[in-house]
Amino acid sequence: MRSIRKILFVYNADRGLLGVRDADHCALREITHSGGSERTALRRCRVRDDVPTVGVYKNQLDSSMAETARETYPSVIVDVDGRFLCLLDRTAIERCRDEDDPVAALESALRAALVRFALSG
């Protein structure tokens, strides 16, 4: 049985010592940083209680994570038994951002992607 270790929200921005750079056009960051703290949005998007959901920046990815994200940031990737799968790409995330309730749309898209990859637990 496949086991999800964590879900990663990969922002189209870099994080440095002085904060976040180049975050102006990141649909995922717009969703998770609007209407409250990032933590609140990530908590709402937590689709499985037993799986942590973590926000990361593209310069924080190791090579296998970056390869999975396919250099199309932002994206949502999942760690399944040490292998990474892309759940949502930039296009899917931008569609969520354009909805009336972007966080709810993102949560719904994540749930659908987990079912599609047979990871819904």
Check if the beta carbon of residue 10 is closer than 8 Å to that of residue 74: yes
Give the model confidence (pLDDT) of 81-108 as tens digits.
989 999 999 999 999 999 999 988 999 9
Tens-digit pLDDT profile for residues 6-27: 999 998 877 765 555 565 578 8
**Separation of alpha carbons 30 and 89, rounded Å:** 15
Contact 45, 31 (CB under 8 A): no
Domain locations along the chain:
4-116
User: Which band of pLDDT confidence, cut at 50, 70 and 90, is reported for residue 1?
Assistant: low
Q: Give 27-52 as a 3 state SS string.
A: HHHHHHCCCCCHHHHHHHCCCCCCCC
